[in-house]
């Protein structure tokens, strides 16, 4: 059967070629993406697949030149890629709602990236600001709803600039939106197979419509997962528990805004925002997912060459996992952990003196990729 034979051979020899759209963005995004690509290239060499990087200069500098953060057909251009690798967006000279609503947020919404997955892990070699925490004591993942809720971009101004000016900002919670992100979180708790525990976080004592719908949906979905223990917390109490007993959390599911806030707490209790990876996922895989760390463009250290690239590099590992390069993903994570544990090449946010590029080089070194 020649046809079958041909199919077989094709399967055997085909090497995945991942097409990656790269948007470095602003501030430290430019530097940390450089290190992310360095590690991705080394990983590709070692694990035998190829990656094709296409750079887009979309950023606030682009906005200064063109009056927009990305071209009108920017989203369409990105559609054909396997994944988007992004640094950070935000510039002190332009209001954030302009830059973020011109680039990052429309991509999340247009590509229906309804899950934002953000792990917080206390790695060996890293000191938590919380007393008495040992490596791995903190090992949680926040699943943040990423396309609606408080970020729905519904509202407006009236009587703009007048004393009687009114601003309306509406949260939008849909049953389908709640159900799909909560289901994702339950599946993740099952797949992680750690504490098999899921915490849902709302503020339904004060937000009596949208978040009540969320709570009801959580209870309904929970019935399908009897193997997963659950709890529902109010967000104020949850902030407290993230600090006083973060080890109790396994998977956490939260609305867009609460997930945003909780993940900065998750980052700092595990050492630094410079370690906090993040993935904006379209689990249906209709569209490319986008991989950008939790942190922003950090204008206070931009251009100094001292940003920690580990968050971006761990984000690259999440991208590799999403592209089914599991071995490479694990190797990148292990290399970051090795560099942290050895404690020789550590950036200033973690108490060291290493520069951004030195940390990237050390991680490439730990990966043990062939030189050519």
203 is catalytic: yes
Query: In the complex with ligand NAD, which residue's Cβ is closer, 199 or 263?
Result: 263
Q: Which residues contribute to the site for ligand IPM (CB under 6 A)?
A: 100, 260, 294, 296
* Footprint on residues 291-330 left by ligand NAD (CB under 6 A): 292, 295-301, 307-308, 311
Distances (CA, A) of 325 to 16, 46, 319, 320: 9, 12, 9, 5
Catalytic residue (one of 61, 76, 96, 236): 236
163 Cβ contact list (under 8 Å, min separation 6): none
Catalytic residue (one of 31, 203, 250, 361): 203
Q: Does 282 bind Mn ion (CB under 5 A)?
A: no
Query: In the complex with ligand IPM, which residue's Cβ is closer, 100 or 234?
Result: 100
Separation CA 301–CA 360 (nearest Å): 17
In sequence order, the β-bridge partners of residue 142 are 118, 252
**Taking the complex as a whole, how short is the minimal distance between the CB of residue 215 and ligand NAD, in angstroms?**
28
Q: If you search the block for the tokens 């290399």, which residue do you land on? A: 335
Q: If you search the block for the tokens 């055997």, which residue do you land on? A: 12
The entry of ligand NAD, Mn ion, ligand IPM, none that residue 361 binds, CB within 5 to 8 Å by partner kind: none
Q: Does 292 bind Mn ion (CB under 5 A)?
A: no
Decide the pairing of beta strands 166-172 and 149-158.
antiparallel
Considering only residues 36, 90, 246, 271, which one is a binding residue for ligand NAD as defined by CB under 6 A?
90
Question: Environment class of residue 144 by beta-carbon count within 10 Å: exposed (0-12), middle (13-18) or buried (19+)?
Answer: buried
In sequence order, the β-bridge partners of residue 170 are 154
Q: How many residues bind ligand NAD (CB under 6 A)?
A: 22
Q: If you search the block for the tokens 């934002």, which residue do you land on? A: 116
Strand runs (DSSP E) across 109-148, as ranges? 115-121, 139-145
* Footprint on residues 334-363 left by ligand NAD (CB under 6 A): 349
Q: Does 113 bind ligand NAD (CB under 6 A)?
A: no
Query: In the complex with Mn ion, which residue's Cβ is closer, 150 or 260?
Result: 260
Considering only residues 52, 61, 96, 342, which one is a binding residue for ligand NAD as defined by CB under 6 A?
96
Considering only residues 82, 145, 260, 282, which one is a binding residue for Mn ion as defined by CB under 5 A?
260
Among 27-35, 204-212, 256-264, 355-363, the segment contacting Mn ion (CB under 5 A): 256-264
Catalytic residue (one of 31, 260, 349, 361): 260
Interface residue list for ligand NAD (CB under 6 A): 28, 32, 88-90, 96, 100, 104, 273-274, 292, 295-301, 307-308, 311, 349
**Would you name the residues annotated as active-site residues?**
159, 203, 236, 260, 264
- The binding site for Mn ion (CB under 5 A) comprises 260
């Amino acid at each position: 059967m020649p046809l079958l034979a041909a199919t077989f051979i094709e399967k055997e020899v085909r090497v995945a070629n991942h097409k990656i759209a790269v948007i470095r963005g602003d501030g430290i995004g430019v530097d940390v993406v450089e290190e992310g690509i360095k590690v991705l290239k080394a990983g590709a060499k070692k694990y035998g697949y190829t990656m094709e990087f296409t750079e887009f200069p979309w950023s606030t500098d682009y906005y200064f030149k063109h009056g927009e953060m990305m071209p009108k057909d920017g989203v369409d251009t990105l559609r054909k890629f396997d994944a988007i690798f992004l640094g950070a967006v935000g510039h002190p000279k332009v209001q954030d709602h302009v830059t973020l609503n011109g680039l990052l947020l429309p991509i999340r919404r247009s590509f229906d990236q309804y899950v934002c997955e953000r792990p917080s892990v206390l790695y060996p070699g890293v000191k938590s600001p919380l007393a008495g925490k040992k490596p791995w004591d903190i090992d949680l993942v926040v699943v943040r709803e990423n396309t609606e809720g408080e970020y729905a971009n519904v509202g407006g101004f009236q009587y703009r600039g007048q004393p009687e000016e009114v601003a309306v900002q509406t949260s939008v919670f849909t049953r389908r939106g709640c159900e799909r992100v909560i289901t994702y979180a339950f599946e993740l708790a099952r797949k992680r197979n750690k504490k098999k525990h899921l915490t849902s976080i709302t503020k339904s004592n004060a937000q009596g419509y949208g978040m009540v719908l969320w709570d009801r949906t959580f209870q309904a979905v929970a019935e399908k997962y009897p193997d997963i223990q659950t709890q529902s917390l109010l967000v104020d109490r949850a902030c407290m528990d993230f600090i006083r007993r973060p080890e109790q959390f396994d998977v956490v599911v939260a609305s867009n805004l609460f997930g945003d806030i909780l993940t900065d707490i998750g980052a700092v209790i595990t050492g630094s925002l410079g370690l906090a990876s993040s993935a904006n996922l379209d689990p249906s895989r209709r569209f490319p997912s986008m991989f950008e760390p939790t942190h922003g463009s950090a204008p206070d250290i931009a251009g100094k060459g001292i940003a920690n690239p580990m968050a971006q590099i761990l984000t690259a590992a999440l991208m590799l996992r999403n592209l089914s390069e599991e071995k490479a993903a694990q190797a990148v994570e292990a290399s970051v952990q090795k560099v942290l544990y050895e404690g020789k090449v550590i950036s200033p946010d973690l108490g060291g003196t290493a520069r951004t590029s030195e940390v990237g080089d050390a991680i490439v070194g730990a990966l043990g990729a062939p030189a050519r």
